[in-house]
Amino acid sequence: MKPEQSKKTDPLPLLLLVEDSQTTTALLSKYLGGGYRILHANDGVQAWEMLETNPEIALVITDIHMPNMTGHQLLVKIRKDENDRYKNMPVIVMTTADDNIDRNLAFLNGANDFISKPIDEMELVARVNVHYRLARTIRELEASQHALSELATTDPLTKLRNRRAFFENGAKALAMSRSYMSDLSVILLDIDHFKKINDTYGHRAGDGALVMVADLLMELSRTEDTVARLGGEEFALLLPDTNRLGTAVLAERIRSAIEREQFIVGDKIIPITASIGIASLGVDPAESIDQLLGVADNRLYLAKKSGRNRICVNDEGRTTFA
């Protein structure tokens, strides 16, 4: 019986058979060859090399007693590795029917199931198919959960983190900052005269402006930063290990980059600018991410009040700390 395939054109699942006996290898290849592509390794060392270089491997069948690296050692290596794809990879161990010691040790090392020698074809095929389908179902569920998580934390238009994700990451960053006495800052940004862009050129142009700004923010930020669209034309950046001077420098770089960028609608170049407020933990009156954003929001208001297309770094409306 062949395992179910999601599409008729899909290749057969790839199975790694780890066995130093040519006779057993030939027999299992005959039994399973109709439903699986068989990749053969003579020992655990060769098997591990194949696992590392063949991400398509969906299931492992291994003997216990082999030269260089035993089946037990291979099991331990698979289960202790940090690669997520090994977490739910089925590993079926071949043992003799009366070898309870090897069975118990294999269970402790993370084996999913056992096949007793001599091999029964129907039992082998049934067990392999069950574990392949179960592992595939788990992978599909994990992929669905990941997709749902992304939907719940991602702004659908700009693909940035959304408000919820910003505050979730902010709570973690705040805890880290307090634990390690490290810097933490935020940037709050608002596109100037955004309503006028929408009213004059249409919502499609407005969406394009939002995406353009989002792309620039991602280009100018670091991997460890959280870049989010909080709503409307408002964006925020969460900056771990960044003091107020570094935050001001980045804010000015962002402002300048947005001003320089050419946003074209039809045959017209539409000027896009942004006003920015910043705040830093420890030097500004804030004990939470919400309060930190509140400080940045007040300074964003001052930047707009002072003429827009500028940054504001303190409550006096200054644009630099110099």
Considering 233, 234, 252, 316, which one is annotated as catalytic? 233
In angstroms, rounded to a whole number, what is the distance separating the alpha carbons of residues 93 and 98?
Answer: 14
Which pLDDT score is estimated for 1? Answer: 58
Q: Give residue-wise pLDDT tens across range 185-244.
A: 999 999 999 999 999 999 999 999 999 999 999 999 999 999 999 999 999 999 999 999
CB 66 within 8 A of CB 100: no
Phi and psi at 111, nearest 5°, equal -65, 145
Cα(12)–Cα(36) distance, integer angstroms: 5
Res 91 pLDDT > 90: yes
Residue 320, exposed/middle/buried by CB under 10 A (0-12, 13-18, 19+)?
exposed
pLDDT, position 249: 96
Place of tokens 């929001």: 297
Could you tell me if 26 and 1 are in contact, meaning their C-beta atoms sit under 8 angstroms apart?
no
In the annotation, is 233 catalytic? yes
pLDDT at 85: 85
pLDDT band at 317 (very low <50, low <70, confident <90, very high): confident
User: What are the chain's domains?
Assistant: 14-152 (3.40.50.2300), 163-312 (3.30.70.270)
- Predicted confidence (pLDDT) at residue 14 exceeds the cutoff of 80: yes
What percent of the chain is modeled with pLDDT above 90? 76
Whole-angstrom distance, CA of residue 289 vs CA of residue 199:
33
Average pLDDT of span 146-165: 89
Tell me the pLDDT of the chain averaged across its residues.
92
Three-class secondary structure of residue 184 per DSSP: strand
- Contact in structure between 288 and 304 (CB atoms under 8 Å): no
CA distance 209 to 194: 9
